[in-house]
Structure 1
Amino acid sequence: MALRCALEMLKDDAEGNECREIIVDRLHALNYHIRSYFWLDFRQLNDIYRYKTEEYSHTAVNKFNVNPESIPHWLLDFLPNHGGYFVGNVSPARMDFRWFCLGNCIAILSSLATHEQAMAILDLIEARWEELIGETPLKICYPAIEGHEWRIETGCDPKNTNWSYHNGGSWPGRSDGFCLPFLVNTHH
């Protein structure tokens, strides 16, 4: 969004046009990277299940060496047939498969998501309304990290206990003008 705003603020002169070209190139690369490597739907999940590991070349299909064994058991039940979302993080050998509301909403608002991806995100929210919205204003991520994984990921940080504010909890302040009005319209 900052790059798109910068495009609007640049002067129409030689220096501004040079910056504009750099920004457009950066936006193109960013869009490709986010849309290709962070997107998860059933088609992509099916591909991940078939990934070979230890591929290290420019022709590698599994660019981040994500191990198919790292796919969490809850994901198949959570991911609807016609839905999808951007995962929280992709790093070597590991993908954070949790769903993060704010990042996915920003991807829609900033046009990082294609129209089809935006509709798939909204389809997921509608299909999983009870888990993601339920009786609370809005959960920031799903599911919360619990047990042994919580100890490893957070270093036993008490402010990040399961279903607390930073670990799957409700963000009531986010319902007052950013995400919830835009999400409520998708729920029939």
Structure 2
Amino acid sequence: MFFMSLRCALQLLKPDPEGKEFMERIIKRLHALSYHMRSHFWLDLKQLNDIYRFKTEEYSHTAVNKFNVIPDSLPDWIFDFMPHHGGYFIGNVSPARMDFRWFCLGNCIAILSCLATPEQSVAIMDLIESRWEELIGDMPVKVCYPALETHEWRIITGCDPKNTRWSYHNGGSWPVSSTM
């Protein structure tokens, strides 16, 4: 959403001397943000295989494993879920761990805002098509996949009852998303 806001701001500014300075700053920020997101938050089969082979405890500007992601943190479901011709932007990257869940709204916004490259946009749509039953099924699109289960949702959401398995905020369907 920040990326889309910057793009909108760029369109609203006048190209006068004061506006040009802000436009240059926004363009610089857009380039940095798009590079960061496309490089570090994109997940496809190639990236998944790279993560699987990451070395840990790399700490330098030349490190391949920039966030020191532990390969054992890859969830079991991800290998079956990832299609050969598909990919998506993950929800979060933190030290030693990535949130590998599929977040529909973020990926759709990435397409709409042009944060996703044309190739990434096609890959996102390919993933939706290949995983239609899991992501959409008989109901409107699910907000995330898979839902957090067992004690994991209690730890991450602080036992908030609105975030139980397949509820609105934890993998449930968002009817408003199907009208987008």
* TM-score calculated relative to the size of structure 2: 0.96
Structure 1: gaps (5+ residues): 179-188
Residue type at the aligned position of 2:17: A
- 1:152 and 1:45 map into 2 onto residues whose CA distance is 26
- 1:85 and 1:31 map into 2 onto residues whose CA distance is 14
Match of 2:59 among 56, 59, 69: 56
- Per-residue deviation, 1:170: 0.6
Matched position secondary structure for 2:55: coil
Q: CA RMSD in A?
A: 0.7
- 2:151 and 2:6 map into 1 onto residues whose CA distance is 40
Q: What do residues 45-82 of structure 1 show as CA deviations (whole Å, max 9, x unaligned)?
A: 01101111111111111111111000000001101000
- 2:177 and 2:81 map into 1 onto residues whose CA distance is 23
**Equivalent in the alignment of 1:161:** 164
- 1:157 and 1:6 map into 2 onto residues whose CA distance is 36
**Equivalent in the alignment of 2:11:** 8
**Equivalent in the alignment of 1:113:** 116
Residue type at the aligned position of 2:121: A
Matched position secondary structure for 1:97: strand
- 2:31 and 2:176 map into 1 onto residues whose CA distance is 33
* TM-score calculated relative to the size of structure 1: 0.92
- Per-residue deviation, 1:110: 0.3
Match of 1:90 among 88, 93, 105: 93
**Equivalent in the alignment of 1:139:** 142
- Per-residue deviation, 1:146: 0.2
Residue type at the aligned position of 2:19: G
- 2:164 and 2:41 map into 1 onto residues whose CA distance is 26
Overall identity of the aligned pairs, in %: 75
- 2:124 and 2:17 map into 1 onto residues whose CA distance is 40
- Per-residue deviation, 1:129: 0.3
Matched position secondary structure for 1:40: strand
- 1:42 and 1:121 map into 2 onto residues whose CA distance is 12
Residue type at the aligned position of 2:21: E
> Residue 44 in 1 paired to residue 69 in 2?
no
Structure 2: gaps (5+ residues): none
- 1:146 and 1:38 map into 2 onto residues whose CA distance is 23
- Per-residue deviation, 1:154: 1.5
- 2:151 and 2:163 map into 1 onto residues whose CA distance is 13
Matched position secondary structure for 1:48: helix
Residue type at the aligned position of 2:79: L
